[in-house]
Amino acid sequence: MLNVKKVVIPAAGLGTRFLPATKASPKEMLTVVDKPLIQFAAEEALDAGIKELIFIVGRNKNVIEDHFGKSSELESELEKKNKTESLELLKQVVPEGVTCAYIRQAEPLGLGHAVLCAASAIKDENFAVLLPDDLVKSESRGCLKQMLEEFEEGIDAILAVEKISLSESEKYGIVDPGTQRGRVIDVNGILEKPLAKDAASDYGVVGRYIFTPKILSFLRDLPAGAGNEIQLTDGIASLISNSKVKAYEFEGVRYDCGSKLGFLKANVDYAVEHPIIGSEFRNWLKGRTQ
Ligand code: G1P
């Protein structure tokens, strides 16, 4: 297992699908029950032992910085009122030893461009990329941790994948798979958002990646691709030509929180398991579906 200390968390999209909720607040701050998507992302990285968080932020950057920053006023209010549980929750947002950096992506030029914006912070180290609107709920180890266990010497990238319906191929990076051993699959090629007839398989990429720094040089010279954006997928396609790239079929359920339906499903699934409101919510839900 190779060492990975940094994670890039892109959060500079326009969030147009969630307007007006995202007019003044980034879509990554939308909450699943009581926790913003971006905090789920940070927690998944921490679960994988990654403690340097690099956020790529756009126009509503302050909200994200405030969320991960210290809130002295709120803390002292909670202390005064003896609200120890709430205070503890606040402190857990950024545990000891975790650092946060914020890099501005002035224009939403694509995921490849967002990753490239982090180049000066990544330097020549391995790094992960975690897209907050793909929420993965897993029983034991988080998705990134599972992938990290497979990130070995000789591999330059590992991507999370899951089987998708081919009618939705235009929403995903689709891999051309080679040999599969357990959950690990060789990747022979990758295409961003192909038509179903051009898709090499029904393995769609989910927003979790681990890279050696080699990918950065491939992203630098990339022309705009699908959707006229600089696509991470195109950088990976170039990387494949001289490096080993693997896909990992993770264990867990993925919610597409970039869509209203996926976001609502996540809210329901997390709500029914919530330690405080779970049982009452389950009862209410039963009553509604009868
Ligand atoms: C991005 C990637 C795509 C990947 C998807 C997963 O697309 O470009 O390859 O399959 O995330 O959510 P986006 O959803 O940002 O359009």
Mean of all residue pLDDT scores within the chain:
94
Buried b (16+ CB within 10 A) or exposed e, 40-72: bbbebbbebebbbbbbbbbebbebbeebbeeee
131 C-beta closer than 6 A to ligand 1: yes
Residues in the chain where the model's pLDDT stays below 70:
289-290
- CA dist., res. 163 & res. 26, Å (int): 29
Distance 124 CA to ligand 1 centre (A): 25
- Ligand 1 binding pocket includes 234 (Cβ within 6 Å): no
Looking at residue 2, its pLDDT comes to: 75
Ligand 1 pocket test, pick from 17, 111, 248 with the greatest ligand atom count within 8 Å of Cβ, gives: 111
| Dmax (CA) of the chain | 63
Query: Could you give the CA distance from residue 268 to residue 149 in angstroms, rounded to a whole number?
Result: 30
Q: Is 45 a pocket residue for ligand 1 (Cβ < 6 Å)?
A: no
Ligand 1 probe mutation, 16, 143, 171, 257, most atoms within 8 A of CB: 171
Q: Is 173 in the pocket of ligand 1 (CB under 6 A)?
A: yes
181 Cα to the center of ligand 1, angstroms:
25
pTM of the model: 0.95
Tell how far the Cα of 226 is from the centroid of ligand 1, in angstroms: 11
Shortest-distance atom of ligand 1 to CA 206 = 6
What is the per-residue pLDDT across 252-272, written as a single tens digit (0 to 9) for each? Answer: 999 999 999 999 999 999 999
Residue 290 confidence (pLDDT): 62
For 118-155, where are the alpha helices, taking DSSP H only?
119-122, 143-148
Concatenated DSSP letters of 233-285: HHHHHHHHTTSEEEEEE-SSEEEETTSHHHHHHHHHHHHHT-TTTHHHHHHHH
**Amino acid 4: pLDDT:** 96
Helix (H, G, I), strand (E, B) or coil at 102: strand
Closest CA to 187 of 169, 200, 198: 200
197's tokens: 């007839």
134 lines ligand 1 (CB under 6 A): yes
Phi then psi for 16, rounded to 5 degrees? -60, -30
Tokens of 189: 């090629």
Sign of CA pseudo-dihedral 248, 249, 252, 254: positive
Q: For residue 260, which phi and psi values (nearest 5 degrees)? A: -60, -40
The span from the CA of 62 to the CA of 84, in Å, is 27
